[in-house]
Amino acid sequence: MDCLFCKIINGELPANKVYDDDLVVAFDDIAPKAPHHKLIVPKVHIATLNDLDKNHNPLLGHMIHTASVIAKDLGVAENGYRTIFNCNKDAGQVVFHIHLHLLAGRPMPGMTQ
């Protein structure tokens, strides 16, 4: 399958991996939007959030928990961090293999406006 993140997962393309287990891998975003910008990616190919079914719920929980583990490892958990899933074009999704962004290391603009 011609998927960038599947290729990173199977080692065809390089990435700076910061976490790896049976279900997920996490690596540095190639174009970081914050001092720390990691992507938490499931090893199974799921194109968008719209392709999830309830059997994926434990996997999604694991992705979010992994973000918190990485944040603690980075030493940013207390100051805080932002996690984001983008879905389809209005959100700016460009890689169609779901991934959780973990952004930290600077204050993030509020989302209340």
Residue from 36, 97, 99, 101 carrying the catalytic annotation? 99
Closest CA to 38 of 82, 89, 91: 82
> Which member of 53, 54, 78, 92 binds ligand 5GP (CB under 6 A)?
92
Q: With CB cut-offs between 5 and 8 Å by kind, which of Zn ion, ligand 5GP, none does residue 105 bind?
A: none
Residue 6 is a binding residue for Zn ion (CB under 5 A): yes
Q: If 0-12 CB within 10 Å is exposed, 13-18 middle and 19+ buried, where does residue 93 land?
A: middle
Residue 3 is a binding residue for Zn ion (CB under 5 A): yes
Sheet holding 36-42, edge to edge: 17-20, 24-28, 36-42, 100-104, 81-84
> Which member of 56, 86, 105, 108 binds ligand 5GP (CB under 6 A)?
86
Active site residues: 99
